Structure 1
Amino acid sequence: MFFIYDIRMFDIFKTAQLTPDLLRSFVVAADTGSFTRTAGLVHKTQAAVSMQIKKLEEDLQCLLFKRDGRGVTLTVEGEILYRYSSKILKLHDEALTAVSAPTLHGKIRLGAPDDYAMKHLPGILREFAVNHPQVQIDVFCDDTPTLSKMLKNGQLDLVIATDKVKTKYSAPLELTWILPQRMDPSEVEELPLALFHPVCCYRENGLKALNKIGRKYRIAYGSPSLAGLLAAVQGGLAIAVVTKDTTANGCRHAIPSDGLPPIESIYIDLRFQPGIRSEVISVFGGFIAKGLGIVI
C-alpha cells in the first residue's frame, strides 16, 4: 500500500497555528461581514483584525474572504474553516468553563433598542456567557423612552439607551445619511425621509440639520425599528439617519457632493437602577461598557 502526500501540507502543519484568538476573530468577521464591526466586538483595532485574517490566509495558503466595497463574505475554503472553527471554539470555551468553577448566578433584565441589540449584544453576550454561564439574561427591545420608563418602574436592571448629551456612562456615536445606491439627492427637490418615530435623537438631529440649511423634505416612512427604515431605503424610496457603522445591501452613505448636511453626534449610554447594584449586575455592566467603549 502506498500513500501520496502533498508536500504543501507539511508546510502548513509546520506554520499554521489555529489559536482561539485567531479563530474567534475569523468567526466574528464571517458572522458580521465586516472587519470594522469585528474589531469592536473582539476589542481590537481594525488593523489588528485585518492582520489576523491575513496571517490565517498566509498560513493556510488560501483566501478565506472575498472582499468588496460593502464588506466581506466567505470563500469556499472560508466556509470549511468556519465549520471547524465553530466546533473548536465551542470545545475551547467548554473546557475553560469546566475548570474555572463559575460563581456568579442570578437573572438580569436588560433593555436595548433593537438596532443596538443586533449590533452590539452578540459579542458581549457571547463573552459574558463564556465567563458566567450560570447567569440568565432576559433582553427587552424597545425605544429609549419606553425602556427608560421600565427602568424607572423597576422592570429592568439596566438599559442601553440613546441620549443627546454626554452622561455619566456614555460614548459618542457619529451619525450620517444612508441612501439608495443610485439616488442623487441633488436632483430631488423634496427629500423623502424614513425616520424613527418622534422623541428620537436620530430623528431630531437629522431634521435639525436639514432645517438649518433650509432643505425641503417630507417624512415618507416611519418606524420604531432600524430594519423598518432600511427597508424603505433599500427599496429606493427614502433616505434615513443611521450611525456611521450601519450598512445595508443596495445602500450607501452620503458623500459631500450629495449636498446633505452633517448631523450632530449623539451618545450611547448605559443606565442602571438607582441604589446599590448586585455583584452580577455590576459585572455584566462592566462587560457591556467594555463592548461599547464606555468608561465605567
Structure 2
Amino acid sequence: MRTFVAAADSGSFTKAAPLVHRTQSAVSMQMQRLERDLGRTLFHREGRGVALTSEGDVLYRYARRLLALHDEALIALGGPRLHGVVRFGAPEDYSTRYLPGALQRFAAAHPGVQVDVFCDDSIRLRDKFRTGELDVALTTEERAGTVDSRPLPLAWLVAERGAPVDRRPLPLALYHTGCLYRRNALAALERAGIAYRVAYGSPSMTGVLAAIRAGLAVGPVAVGTTMEGCRLAMPRDGLPNIPPVATRLRVRQDAAPALPEAFAGFLRQELALLP
C-alpha cells in the first residue's frame, strides 16, 4: 500500500522507488502483483509516468486511511510516551469541522496529553502564535503556497426554503470586519454589480448560520459546510462565485517541539495536508 500511494502521488514508478527504498523494477513488479491480486487495472501507463484509473482512485482513498491507521498504531504502541499540554488555536468553524476526528485519534495515541483549544479569528490567532501563547494554530490566509497550507474553496450558504437570493439589496450574514470570507464575498458581489447590505454581523459561526437558516440572509462559508435546513447556492440562485482562501497549519519548533509536532501530525491527516 505504501508503494502504491507513493507511485500515485509521484505519478511515476521511477520517482516512487527512492521514496520506498526499492528499485524501479521492484516497484513495477509490486504494482503488477497488486493489480493481479485484485483483478483490477490500477494505473494508466502514460509515457514514462502513470496515472490512477477510476478503480485505482478508489483504492487510493482506502490506502491512505489504512496507512494512517497503521502509523497511528505504531505511535500508540511503540512511540514515545508524551505528556504535557498542547495549546491549539483555530477559528470556530475549523474547530467544529476538523478537530473532533483529530482529537479522538490523538487521545487514543497519547492519553497523557492535554489539549487546550482556543477559538478566535485568524488575525488574533496569528498574533497569539507569534507571541508564544499557542503551540499549534490553524488560520485562514489569503492564498496557499507555503508548507502546510492548501486552498479552501468558498461558496454561498442559503436556506433550503425562502432564501432571499432575489432580494435587492441582497441581505448578508457575515463575520465581522477582517474576515477573509467576508472580504472575498463582498468583492465578488461588487464585481457582479449586485447591491447588498450587511443584515447580520457576528464573530461566531453559530450566529451567522442562525441568520442564514432562518432565511433572513445569505452568507459565505467553506465548501463542505453543512447545516440542517441549509444548502450551498446553485447557479440558478444567481450568486457570483467567491474567490477561495487558504488554510495554514502553524507549528512551534522551539523549546519542546515533539508534543506540538505530534498533535500537528494528526491535524495534517484530517486536513489532507500529508505529503
User: Normalization by structure 2: what TM-score?
Assistant: 0.69
Tell whether the 8 Å contact from 1:205 to 1:264 is kept in structure 2 after alignment.
yes
User: How far is the alpha carbon of 1:117 from its aligned partner?
Assistant: 0.6
Structure 1 pair 267–277 and aligned structure 2 pair: CA distance change class (3 A): farther
Contact in 2 for aligned 1:152/1:273 (Cα 8 Å): no
Cα shift at 1:292: 0.5
Distance 2:166 2:120 in 1: 36
- Between the aligned partners of 1:175 and 1:101, the Cα distance in structure 2 is 38
**Where in structure 2 are the equivalents of 1:208-227 lying within 5 Å?**
208-227=187-206
Shift of 1:226: 1.1
What residue in structure 2 maps to residue 149 of structure 1?
127
CA distance in 2, matches of 1:200, 1:290: 26
Residues 1:132 and 2:110 aligned together: yes
Q: Cα offset for 1:172?
A: 1.4
Q: Give 1:136 deviation, angstroms.
A: 1.2
- Matched residues in 2 for 1:101 and 1:239: separation? 47
| 1:153-176 deviation digits (Å, cap 9, x = unpaired) | 111111011001113211111110
Matched, 1:248 2:227: yes
Q: Is the 8 A contact 2:163 2:217 kept in 1?
A: no
**1:290 partnered with 2:269:** yes
CA distance, structure 1, for counterparts of residue 219 and residue 84 of structure 2: 40
Q: Does 1:196 align with 2:175?
A: yes
CA 1:186–1:228 in 2, change beyond 3 Å: closer, same or farther? closer
The alignment of Structure 1 onto Structure 2 pairs a total of residues equal to 207
Report the AA paired with residue 264 of structure 1. Answer: P
- CA deviation map 1:131-162 (0-9, x unaligned): 11111111111111111111111111110110
Pick from 232, 244, 250: which aligns with 1:265?
A: 244
Structure 1 counterpart of 2:259: 280
Q: Distance in 1 between the 2:162 and 2:223 partners?
A: 19
Change (3 A) 1:280 1:186: closer
Matches of 1:106 and 1:169, distance apart in 2: 24
How much has 1:264 moved relative to structure 2? 0.7
Superimposed CA distance per residue, residues 1-30 of structure 1 (whole angstroms, 9 cap, x where no aligned partner): xxxxxxxxxxxxxxxxxxxxxxxxxxxxxx
C-alpha separation in 2, matches of 1:140 and 1:108: 11
Q: Where do 4+ consecutive residues of structure 1 move more than 2 Å? A: 99-102, 182-187, 272-277
- Secondary structure of 1:249's counterpart equals coil
SS of 1:229 mapped into structure 2: helix
Identity, % of aligned positions: 42
Give the distance between the partners of 1:176 and 1:260, measured in 2 at CA. Answer: 9
Matches within 5 A, 1:49-60: none
CA distance in structure 1 between the aligned counterparts of 2:190 and 2:253, rounded to whole angstroms:
38
SS of the equivalent of 1:193 reads strand
- The CA deviation at 1:187 is 3.0
1:103 aligns with 2:88: no
| RMSD between superposed Cα atoms in Å | 2.6
Shift of 1:275: 4.1
Determine helix, strand or coil for the equivalent of 1:212: helix
